[in-house]
Amino acid sequence: MIHVVAVITAKPGQRAAVLEAFKANVPAVLAEQGCIEYQAVVDAKGLPPSKGSLGDDTFMVVEKWASLADLQAHGASAHMQAYAARTKELLANRVIHVLEPV
């Protein structure tokens, strides 16, 4: 199994727009071969900001894939290419961690 944690930072005030595009793409991703989990997460409400807080412009995408080949096919898919094009001008930074269990 492959785990992915992507840290996505939108340009100031653009996180909602990026998340809207993300949510529209989720059904296509979940239908992909090998997709086990794919969801966006933000800071939990009701907690004071801390050193580990994401803040108002950042969210994480938590993913699980059955294999590295499935993840690679995901990255090359037409719907992911369209999502990237749709959000390109809205993003300030993107860091993707691809991990495997030990």
Residues 88, 102: Cα–Cα separation, whole Å: 34
Domain annotation covers residue 49: no
| CA distance readout (Å), 39 to 19, 50, 59, 61, 102 | 10, 23, 10, 6, 23
Domain annotation covers residue 50: no
The pLDDT, as a whole number, for residue 77 is 97
Domain annotation covers residue 89: yes
The domain containing residue 71 runs over which residues?
2-43+55-99
Please answer whether residues 42 and 54 qualify as being in contact, where contact means their C-beta atoms are separated by less than 8 angstroms: yes
Q: What is the CATH number of the domain that holds 16?
A: 3.30.70.100
Domain annotation covers residue 48: no
The pLDDT, as a whole number, for residue 28 is 98
Band (pLDDT 50/70/90 cuts) for residue 33 is: very high
- The total number of structural domains that make up the chain: 1
Name residue, tokens 């996180």: 15
Q: What is the mean pLDDT of residues 27-34?
A: 98
pLDDT in tens, 38-97: 999 999 999 999 999 999 999 999 999 999 999 999 999 999 999 999 999 999 999 999
The pLDDT, as a whole number, for residue 92 is 98
Domain annotation covers residue 81: yes
